[in-house]
Amino acid sequence: MTDGSAVLPQLVCASANPDKVAEIAAILDGVVDLLPRPADVPDVVEDADTLVGNARLKAVAICEAAGLPAVADDTGLEVDALGGAPGVCAARYAGERCSYADNRAKLLAELGDATDRSARFRTSVLVRWPDGSELAVDGVCEGAITDTERGERGFGYDSVFRPADGDGRTFAEMTNDEKHAISHRGRAFRNLLDALR
């Protein structure tokens, strides 16, 4: 006899970044049972030249380690005045062991006083099942890079990215719910939920 409540599908989160995990969990809350990445799995080298390629590397490694479906994402920041950079290298733009602040500082320095500050965040999400089947989706958020950092929330480039669909604030000036409603990651994971349904 059951209590009538639905059993949520389980996905193991491949990300080791606690900021990302918190965002993904908030977006999938109540729809997917997001399980933590196995602690004994070493970091996956993300050396693919595409976002979906990096997501696949992580999802495959975690799926094989856990024996369960795994979800992974990778996000890039494409700045038009920089020819699409930092792109797939957004997390290590200022170097292999750089901080979020290092990346933002390099980005603002590279842009200088450029008048074209248009940019977009792009997130690729991939689910890998133990039978080898996959599902991949994307989410994009158009916007612009600000002249200076603004806001205390978020992580990564949030304090220098002003989404086009917003009200002039950066992601770092928004609440989590406001950000998730229009962000690249929010869009990608909602696209994933639509595809899973």
Answer yes or no: is 121 a known binding residue: no
Answer yes or no: is 19 a known binding residue: yes
Answer yes or no: is 80 a known binding residue: no
Question: CA 179, CA 154: separation in Å to the nearest integer?
Answer: 9
Answer yes or no: is 75 a known binding residue: yes
The owner of tokens 């990651």 is 185
Q: Is 194 a catalytic residue?
A: no
Question: CA 51, CA 125: separation in Å to the nearest integer?
Answer: 9
The owner of tokens 């602690």 is 39
Answer yes or no: is 159 a known binding residue: no
Answer yes or no: is 185 a known binding residue: yes
Q: What are phi and psi of 96, to 5 degrees?
A: -60, -40
Catalytic residue among 74, 138, 147, 167: 74
CB 184 within 8 A of CB 164: no
Mark the binding-site residues for Mg(2+), compressed into ranges.
74
- The residues annotated as belonging to the active site are 74
Mark the binding-site residues, compressed into ranges.
15-20, 74-75, 155-158, 179, 184-185
Mark the binding-site residues for substrate, compressed into ranges.
15-20, 75, 155-158, 179, 184-185
